[in-house]
Amino acid sequence: MPDLIIGHPAWGELLFVREVFPDARLIAYFEFFYRPVGADVGFDPEFPSTPDDRYKLRIRNSTQLHALAECDAGISPTAWQRSTYPAREQARIRVIHEGIDLEAVRADPAATFRLADGRALTRQDRVITFVSRQLEPYRGFHVFMRALPELQRSIPDARFVIVGGDGVSYGTRPAPPHATFREKLLAEVGERIDPTRTHFVGRLPYADYLRLMQISRLHIYLTYPFVLSWSMLEAMACGAPVLGSATPPVQEVIRDGENGYLFDFFNRDQLVERATAIVAQDQAETDAIRCAARREIESRFSFTQHSLPAYRQLIQDVT
């Protein structure tokens, strides 16, 4: 008989916990509460929502509403993600991020990342990175790809390393005849990009991914108003300057010109202009951003200094 259960309720994992373990204390991990308007749904006019989509969200949220009624406390990883929940419930949800292992995720000026053709890339190369679990619109892959021809023209010596799978984690699949969003976007812009400087590396082992973040001259990160990716935080922890979309989850962490850079999610011209200027700027200015980014992660997202003590305190309070 457990004293405490911590679980994620979104797909129904906690629905019958009280019936099976009536005496256990229960902490629910509230990652994201779906909204018909004001967050990810309807954000991108290229993928408009339908009434049916909005009805489904009401039902999808029902498992979380059950958990809110039954739990003794809740956790959300960021303040913005907590803000998606009903206002009357937010006081019961503590903001505790899972945390970043800052001993492993850190800058390494001597890091090397090896491409499939055997070429080794280092911090001396002008490497621009884009990372997403899956290459899909929720993480702005379509915006990045449509900007890529102009990015390559404006930064002619840069190599673009793109990490991610061809599936769909969020949203819908592309319409036929395209099986993946990578296939769809390459059909649009493939003739205008330089394949010798465009490297799709798929999904990487974690150690290889970290080496890539350590050599990145600029990390481009986009997201709908949705769950914040660890990759953005890990890029900052590795000292990679981040150019992120000015959407609420990113703005909670990045302050433009102070610990990173921001641009309008839908403004490809601004993305190109800002990326070009950042890569060309004085090294001292870049180093200042790198250091500020690392300090931001240390001050808010360290697993050992922040997340673990906060979890321990929560567990003590609940039990």
Residue 285 lies in a domain: yes
Contact 189, 227 (CB under 8 A): no
Identify whether the C-beta of residue 319 lies closer than 8 Å to the C-beta of residue 25: yes
pLDDT at site 219: 98
Radius of gyration of the chain (CA): 21
Give residue 172's pLDDT: 86
Q: How far apart are CA 58 and CA 207, in angstroms?
A: 39
Residues 150 and 139 in one domain: yes
Residue 37: per-residue pLDDT: 84
User: So what's the pLDDT on residue 85?
Assistant: 96
In this structure, is residue 107 part of a structural domain? no
95 by DSSP, 3-state: which?
strand
pLDDT at 40: 92
Q: What is the pTM of this model?
A: 0.94
Domain contains 106: no
Instruction: Tell me the residue range of the domain where 88 lies.
Output: 4-99+302-318
What is residue 209's predicted lDDT score, i.e. its pLDDT? 98
128 and 91 in a common domain: no
125 lies in the same domain as 201: yes
Q: Digits of tens for pLDDT over the chain (319 positions)?
A: 999 999 999 999 999 999 999 999 999 999 999 998 889 998 999 998 888 988 999 999 999 999 999 999 999 999 999 999 999 999 999 999 999 999 999 999 999 999 999 999 999 999 999 999 999 999 999 999 999 999 999 999 999 999 999 999 998 899 899 999 999 999 999 999 999 999 999 999 999 999 999 999 999 999 999 999 999 999 999 999 999 999 999 999 999 999 999 999 999 999 999 999 999 999 999 999 999 999 999 999 999 999 999 999 999 999 9
Would you state the pLDDT for residue 144?
98
Cα–Cα distance for residue pair 211/230, rounded to 1 Å: 15
pLDDT of residue 54: 86
DSSP 151-215: HHHHSTT-EEEEEEESS-SSS-PPPTT-SSHHHHHHHHHGGGS-GGGEEEEES--HHHHHHHHHH
pLDDT at 298: 97
Q: How many domains does the chain fold into?
A: 2
- Does residue 166 lie in a domain region? yes
> What was the pLDDT predicted at 171?
83
What CATH number should be reported for the domain holding residue 154? 3.40.50.2000
**pLDDT value at residue 149:** 98
Query: What's the pLDDT at 237?
Result: 98
